[in-house]
Structure 1
Amino acid sequence: MENDQKIKLGAGIWTISILHFIGIAFSIIGTIMSLLFKDAINEQMMTLGEGAVPQVSQMEIIIGLVFTILMLVSVILILRRKAVGVYCYFGTIILRVIFSLITVESKLGILFILILPVLMAIFIYIKKEVYGFGTASAE
């Protein structure tokens, strides 16, 4: 029974999770602000002479908010050592990349979306036994 110690997550998973939490906080605040003040923002852009700025539909804003909330839930589940959090995390990333490709986002933006998930995948692979993906030791 002495070997039933919890395996630590590791600094990499914690660091990437904290960076995700910071990004999620800014994303939620920005999304809510753009939903509430969409008309004022568009009017201000017109007065600045930025009339050619593409309009973001309310549906795109809401879909982005849903992705953000899914990411928040999955990162919390990853920190709680749940394998479903890992599946939800990478599923959300795949859906977000597909959505970005459909909405004709820049290729550089898609690469930026993938930086933290690639690092998270590396750190989760290193600590895969925490989530039950590998065996910790062979007795």
Structure 2
Amino acid sequence: MENVQKPKVGAGIKTMSIIQLVFSGFGLIGFIMIILMKDTIKTAGGPAITTSYLIISLVLLIITTIGIILILMKKELGIYIYFIAEVASIVYSIVINGFKPLDILSLIIPALMGIFIWKKKEIFSTETKNIEV
């Protein structure tokens, strides 16, 4: 019997996923705090935050998290979900707030994730899976 080892997700993908999931957790806590303290923020002279902004941002956060989980499960669909959600999040942020040079920093984690996924593309490609079967 042959000892066939299944390819593993690399340390880079795991690291970027953990960082992204931690940021998502903090973001979720922040959304909950904003929802609970929305009136206090408004009376204190803070920016007016609309409910639609919160809902759209929360949905994009959840979709990104689902994409990361699917990537860690070695599903090709997770790659598409993750990057579409990231692009949508960046575009939505630029449309709502306008472009700021600081927005370029939001491209660092998705770019690194893309590089690490590209290096381990044999795990995710359907062509390789069809050949093995």
Do they superpose with TM above 0.5?
yes
Q: Partner of 2:88 in structure 1?
A: 95
Task: Please give the residue correspondences for 1:1-139 in structure 2 after superposition, counting only pairs within 5 Å.
Answer: 2=2, 4-44=4-44, 46=45, 53-132=46-125, 135=128
Identical counterparts, % of pairs: 40
Q: Greater share of helix residues, 1 or 2?
A: 2
Asked whether the equivalents of residues 75 and 124 of structure 2 are also in contact (C-alpha less than 8 Å), the reply is yes
Moved more, 4-13 or 114-123: 4-13
Instruction: Say how many residue pairs are matched.
Output: 131
1:115 positional shift: 0.8
Root-mean-square deviation (Å): 2.2
For structure 2, list consecutive stretches of 5 or more residues without a partner in the other structure.
none
For structure 1, list consecutive stretches of 5 or more residues without a partner in the other structure.
47-52
Asked whether the equivalents of residues 128 and 134 of structure 1 are also in contact (C-alpha less than 8 Å), the reply is no
Change (3 A) 1:106 1:6: same
1:3 positional shift: 5.9
1:114 positional shift: 1.0
Give the Cα separation in 1 of the matches to 2:90 and 2:121. 24
Residue identity opposite 2:11 in structure 1: A
Q: Partner of 1:50 in structure 2?
A: none
TM-score, L = length of structure 1: 0.84
Give the Cα separation in 1 of the matches to 2:30 and 2:40. 14
TM-score, L = length of structure 2: 0.88
